[in-house]
Amino acid sequence: MTLPPRVTDRAFARLAEIAEDTGAPRALRVAVEGGGCSGFQYDIKLDDPADDDLVIEKDGQKVLVDSVSLPFLTNAVIDFTEELIGARFVIENPNASSSCGCGISFSI
């Protein structure tokens, strides 16, 4: 069964913190692009919605996935993690057959 990506409460909470800090709420765009050391890489940035985006929304915060990236992110989980090496949004992607150590690049 194919499901759209799921966004954790932690990721939505971090988006709310960013909006509060900047005073300008922006959506988080999660896209998949060709490149990286494993063939594909994630592009995660603050952006504005486009017409063909899947919009996942909670408590006024939005996460965007474009129609081209959506098949690569089926059943994935978009999360936010804070570790000793830093804090970042992360993707847990069951479609990826392998990924590199940085977690940004993957193959299918």
Are 5 and 73 contacting, i.e. CB atoms less than 8 angstroms apart?
yes
The pLDDT tens digits for 68-77 are: 999 989 999 9
Q: Is the pLDDT of residue 16 over 80?
A: yes
Cβ neighbours around 90 below 10 Å, total = 18
Strand-pair partners of 32? 42
The pLDDT tens digits for 25-62 are: 899 999 988 776 667 788 999 999 999 999 999 999 99
> CA-to-CA distance for 31 and 64, rounded, in angstroms?
8
The per-residue pLDDT for 106 is 47
Domains defined along the chain, listed by start: 6-107 (2.60.300.12)
